[in-house]
Amino acid sequence: MSSKQVIFERVQSALKRHTIASEAMPFENLILDTKEDLLEEYKHFQALNRAEVINSSPESLATDIQAALKAFESQKVLHATNLPCALEAIDPENHYQKIPYDRPVEDFREEIFSIDTAILKGACGVANLGMVGVVSSPLAPRLTSLITLKCVLLLEKTAIVRDLAQGLATLKAQKADRLPTNLLFIGGPSRTADIELQTVFGVHGPMAVCVILY
């Protein structure tokens, strides 16, 4: 018998003799909510996180994505394949080189690092932190929000929740009542500071983020 099996048998034997009592712990939100309106609170904290926020609608979403790409001076655009609007509507005059993320990164490793902007859809928004919850999937692989210097995040207004606990519950509900294998909460551009407290943007992800609420 291997040592692994011995350990498992001892744990199982111990559990039979001494059951582990569990108790649901109450959640207390220690972060003060500043506004009653979730949308306004979300926009407020996203602005504090240095993200540009565009208040859009399903009807004007494509036009507002065009405006964001123009403001970013985008040239190559990496996009998830589950966007809520057609690429023809986003770029009717074919100004940008549009690259779908529909293959393994090994297949276009040389190209991907030269792409300047990414577009993807958020799964939820956390109002009192100003963050977008993103779930990785074959339609929107993990690197979609990390590899480019600029990122456009599309978020439905109805997907905004009050706090992180509700955000995690929202993401968990999308995957048969369990958390996805990979998820991100994005709060504006990536930034860090060294020991001298000099803030640098774009170290671990995009240096500029635009969140379009529709």
Contact 143, 103 (CB under 8 A): no
pLDDT reading at 183 higher than 70: yes
In CATH terms, the superfamily for domain 34-213 is NagB/RpiA/CoA transferase-like (3.40.50.10420)
pLDDT tens-digit profile of 17-54? 887 777 777 766 666 666 778 999 999 999 999 999 99
Rounded CA separation 46/126 (Å): 10
pLDDT reading at 202 higher than 80: no
How does the average pLDDT of the chain come out, rounded?
89
Domain coordinates in residue numbering, the chain? 34-213
Tokens of 136: 């990785």
pLDDT tens-digit profile of 121-171? 999 999 999 999 999 999 999 899 999 999 999 999 999 999 999 999 888
What's the predicted TM-score (pTM) here?
0.81
The DSSP H or E segment spanning 153 is: strand 150-155
Candidates 162, 183, 163; CA nearest to 171 is: 183
DSSP conformation letters of 177-214: TS--SSEEEE-SS-EEE-TT--EEESSSS-SEEEEEE-
pLDDT tens-digit profile of 76-128? 999 999 999 999 999 999 999 999 999 998 888 888 889 999 999 999 999 99
Rounded CA separation 202/207 (Å): 4
